[in-house]
Amino acid sequence: MLLFPQRFFPRCLAGLLLVGASFTALAQLPSAPSVPSATLLRPAAVFDGQVLHAGWVVLVSGSKITAVGPAAQVAAPAGTRILDLANQTLLPGLIEGHSHLLLHPYNETTWNDQVLTESQALRVARATVHAQRTLLAGFTTARDLGTEGAGYADVGLKQAIDQGIVPGPRLLIATRALVATGSYGPKFSPDVVLPQGAQEADGAEGVARATREQMGKGADVVKVYADYRWGKGEPSHPTFSQEELTVIVQTAKAAGRPVVAHASTPEGMRRAILAGVETIEHGDNGTPEIFKLMKQHHVALCPTVAAGDAILQYQGWRKGQAPEPARVQEKRASVEAARKAGVTFAMGGDVGVFPHGDNAREMELLVREYGFTPLEVLQQATSGNATVFHLADRGHVAPGLLADLIAVQGDPTQEVSSLRQVQLVMKGGVVYKGATEKLSR
């Protein structure tokens, strides 16, 4: 029995002949140029994650760094691609410690409206642009700490980047994040049940189950809100009990995942520290005693000074013209207390509150308004974050590490604004932002 009418076959045969001709034509196209076996980067200086070395060069083979040192001591094989980076400093790709790729600035759309009225498809489409801007700004790795109502969309975004579908930084993702029931938002009428910006969980059994669920869906990091505002306009208060926080950390640690805590109150910070979290995000109202406890327990602080600064300006503060709000003064005091206590700092701006691609804003504020040197924030954003986030394969310029490298005009160890002048971005040996090249003989 014929499955297709007889008149179908001439058309089918013609189609097959056309396809065959197309494949023949493709086979006759000139082949793509061969990829050089190695790349030699020749900047004015190399910042290796700790110190600056004038006259050094870096040899890359495939996705890894294979040699680093004075130009006279690094031999480039024949056929090596050479990138001349005159008057530029080569350094490890920067590591963003606190971002939300699925958010965009609140002066464009409020947080509530992003969570409640923007479709997930829209948010993901926008996030792909955010990822590209982040990468081109020189941040080759980002710790993304919560989708804020977009579920597990960061899992797919990370996969798309890893598979080369869209350009972006290497991601450490936290998926939905954990909040105590009733503590987060959005909140409107108590008669209306709304989608939340994070996953609600309560009690030892409940938080363990939610932690396992998020890790099973793809979370690299578990984020918990140790304190938050229970009602509109009131200050933050602790949310989870000490037992609940300890269970979250123990559950995550058993699966090899670190826990980070949003915390700004002394009691919320204390509980999170004693539970065993690895970083405190924000820490606005930390006290000398709390920061001493952080130092004792080897907990790092990610102060996110740029986010609060941006929000206050959205709310009408005319920076540079009006007096500093109390929130800025409190933030400066907490950062100073943490520094005096010897707390380790992680560099992260809470990007998404302000534009992605503007990540260097956090580093600029830390230098210009919080007393850090350009070298200190540069170390935080490279080798420092790599250590705090357990990323042994990046954050330094050394043989065997990932070829995640950027070049900037000038010397960023002396002038933080140099980080705005990104001339080269390489991730895994692939150049995403270019440079003039030639082949060695």
Q: What are phi and psi of 437, to 5 degrees?
A: -130, 160
Mean pLDDT along residues 403-410: 98
Structure confidence at residue 21 as a pLDDT band (50, 70, 90): very low
Count of other CB atoms within 10 angstroms of residue 1: 2
| Residue 179, pLDDT above cutoff 50 | yes
pLDDT range class, residue 189, cuts 50, 70, 90: confident
Interior angle at CA 144, CA 433 and CA 161, nearest 5: 45
Cα–Cα nearest to 352, from 211, 117, 159, 142 = 142
Measure the CA–CA gap between 154 and 145, rounded to whole angstroms: 10
- Rounded Cα distance between 189 and 198, Å, is 19
The pairing of beta strand 178-179 with beta strand 39-47: unpaired
Phi-psi region of 74 (alpha: psi -120 to 50; beta: other; left: phi over 0): beta
Lowest mean pLDDT among 93-97, 349-353, 431-435: 431-435
pLDDT for position 36? 52
Q: By mean pLDDT, which of 28-42, 278-292, 360-374, 409-423 is the weakest?
A: 28-42
Q: How far apart are CA 184 and CA 227, in angstroms?
A: 10
Domains of the chain by start residue, with CATH: 39-93+398-439 (2.30.40.10), 94-388 (3.20.20.140)
pLDDT reported for residue 2: 34
Is the pLDDT score of 23 beyond 50?
A: no
Answer whether 384's CB lies under 8 Å from 346's CB: yes
- pLDDT tens per residue, range 350-373: 999 999 999 999 999 999 999 999
What mean pLDDT is predicted for residues 101-106? Answer: 98
Task: Considering only the C-alpha atoms of the chain, give the largest distance between any 2 of them, rounded to a whole number of Å.
Answer: 88
pLDDT of 227 strictly over 70: yes
- pLDDT, tens digit, for every residue of 117-162? 999 999 999 999 999 999 999 999 999 999 999 999 999 999 999 9
DSSP-assigned letter for residue 359: T
Per-residue pLDDT for 34 more than 90? no
The structure tokens listed for 136 are: 């081109």
Tens-place pLDDT, residues 42-60: 999 999 999 999 999 999 9
Residue 403: which residues within 8 A CB-CB, separation 6 or more? 39, 60, 62, 63, 64, 65, 426, 427, 428, 429
Over 80: is that where the pLDDT of 181 sits? Answer: yes
Angle at 203 between CA 275 and CA 236, to 5 degrees: 65
Mean pLDDT score of the chain, rounded to an integer?
A: 92
